[in-house]
Amino acid sequence: MNLSNFLILAFFLSCANCYAKWDNQSERYANAYKKYAEARCPIPENRIKHFVYFARDRGAIKDHPLLKHDRFSGAQIMYLWSRLEPAEGKYDFSTIRHDYEYLKKYDKKLFVQLQDATFDPKVRGLPEYLNTSEYDGGSIEQINDHGRVDGWTAKRWNKKVHKRFTFLLEALGKEFDGKIEGINLQETAIGVDPNQDTTFTYKGYRDAIKENMLSLRKAFPQSTAMLYANFMPGEWLPWEDKGYLRSIYEYGEQIGVALAAPDLMVRRKGQLNHALAMMHEHKYSTPLGIAVQDGNYTGLTGADFSAGSDLEGNENNVVEKRKNIVPLLHAFAEDFLKVNYMFWVNQKPYFEEDVLTCFK
């Protein structure tokens, strides 16, 4: 064997050895859930504050079991921007006020989720005055992974839209800061890219999220100010890491905005490599939160039922024969994520049959 052939052989042997030892970072947390697989009910008391999430079904809080249950701190309810500001600068917080007073009678807290994005193509969610040329339309369609319109989102990166959103936050803060437990902005993940809107850029969107975070913190210095930071457009971790999501978590820690995410999915790489990794890999002085949302009780997310998916329209089908994974979800959130808040969706029959039975 001549020298050149020997060197080529040596190279391939060394590379084969490297590949054998290669650690696939996207799989690093794939088996983390197994540590908690044997968790059982009842769930012991701890430092986590538990809330029941009602989305926009605010009427369901009436006579709900959480009202007389010591383990639940209160209710998380979603409020559309369009309902809170029916006309420019004219605010109507009567629904929030009503829910706050109702929960207060039972010594329960209200956690507000402010909605500026929707997952319904028929609902924009923004006040009508924003859906004009002055605000560049105010909102834009969200396109899901199947190429279908899946809802709308406010143009958070538009300076004029941001200004009106800040005014809304300031008005909410004047009335409810220090009274409600907290307020959270919706998830950072949106189905928008620069091909849809020339005013949209990934860096500009990152900066806009930070501006909203700062406005929220200023408006709510006493109540918990929280952002749902799950994914950021323009990157996919761990391989396409532009630092967008990481910078959001760093900024939240810097200014005191709590960080959270929807969809506690302990076996999906998407969630594990994004929000869940951010929580697990760093220490925070600001609170952390995680939401168990529609589908999560059976290992799915709302996206699994979106237009174009194999499960489209099946979200109301009940999985009768299932393992109760609530103890697993709780143990994972407590130990692996070290969260301060958990939000359990009031999805029937799973909440009554799986959650309540574990929180006796």
Average pLDDT score over the chain: 93
| C-alpha–C-alpha distance, residues 30 and 266, integer Å | 8
Sign of CA dihedral 276, 282, 283, 284: negative
According to DSSP, the residues that pair with 262 across neighbouring strands are 291
Distances (CA, A) of 271 to 189, 267, 316: 12, 8, 23
Name the residue among 124, 195, 193 with its Cα closest to residue 161. 124
CA angle 27, 189, 312 (to 5 degrees): 85
3-state secondary structure of 280: helix
Q: Quick one: pLDDT band at residue 315, thresholds 50, 70, 90?
A: confident
Q: How many residues does the chain have?
A: 360
The answer to whether the CB of 306 falls within 8 A of the CB of 312 is yes
Measure Cα distances from 181 to 105, 143, 222, 337 in Å: 15, 33, 9, 21
- Is 335 a residue whose pLDDT tops 60? yes
Residue 54 · residue 61 · CB < 8 Å: yes
Q: Please write the tens of the pLDDT for every residue from 115-172.
A: 999 999 999 999 999 999 999 999 999 999 899 999 999 999 999 999 999 999 999 9
Residue pLDDT, tens place only, 265-311: 999 999 999 999 999 999 999 999 999 999 999 998 888 878 777 77
What is the per-residue pLDDT for 309?
Answer: 79
155 contacts 135 by C-beta, under 8 angstroms: yes
Q: CA-CA distance, 303 to 76, in Å (whole number)?
A: 21
8 A C-beta contact, residue 292 and residue 133: no
Tokens of 185: 């902005």
Amino acid letter, residue 119: F
Q: What type of residue is 31?
A: N
Tokens of 355: 């959650």
pLDDT cut 70: percent of the chain above it = 94
Residue-level pLDDT at 270 = 97
The encoded tokens of residue 116 equal: 């500026």
One-letter amino acid identity for 194? P
pLDDT tens, 67-108?
999 999 999 999 999 999 999 999 999 999 999 999 999 999
Q: What integer pLDDT is reported at residue 2 of this predicted model?
A: 59
DSSP-derived secondary structure letter, 33:
G
For residue 9, what pLDDT is reported?
A: 52
CB contact at 8 A, 252 and 213: yes
